[in-house]
Amino acid sequence: SIASADMDSNQLEAFLTAQTKKQGGITSDQAAVIAKFWKNHRTKIHESLINQSRWDNVLKNMNWRVDLKSQSRHIDQINTPVAIVEMELGKSGQ
């Protein structure tokens, strides 16, 4: 829960306090150890989760534009915006 929410210090403290008050929850010593570990390794854990959830491909380039129809058989289709998006994917590290 802590890692998936990427909790800051205030959120972490509130979460761990709630866990210590739960019946069958953690002790205050365990909460202190978890808090210290999270504060020391938060960046590494967050990066690891991102790497595990990412596909091999990464976004290398993106182009976009919005077109408007200037002519149509039906008057209600004129000036209808259409978004065109072009994404270039590549392998991670290349």
Residue 39 lies in a domain: yes
Residue 82 lies in a domain: yes
Q: Same structural domain for residues 45 and 64? A: no
Residue 69 lies in a domain: yes
Residue 1 lies in a domain: no
pTM for the whole structure: 0.55
pLDDT in tens, 57-87: 788 899 999 988 777 777 777 778 889 999 9
The tally of domains found in the chain comes to 2
pLDDT in tens, 13-70: 999 999 999 998 899 999 999 999 999 999 999 888 887 777 777 888 999 999 887 7
Residue 2 lies in a domain: no
Q: Same structural domain for residues 62 and 49? A: no
Q: Same structural domain for residues 44 and 71? A: no
Looking at residue 10, its pLDDT comes to 93
Give the domain extent around 76. 58-90
24-54 core/surface letters (b: 16 or more CB in 10 A; e: else): eeeeeeebeebbeebeeebeeeeeeeeeeee
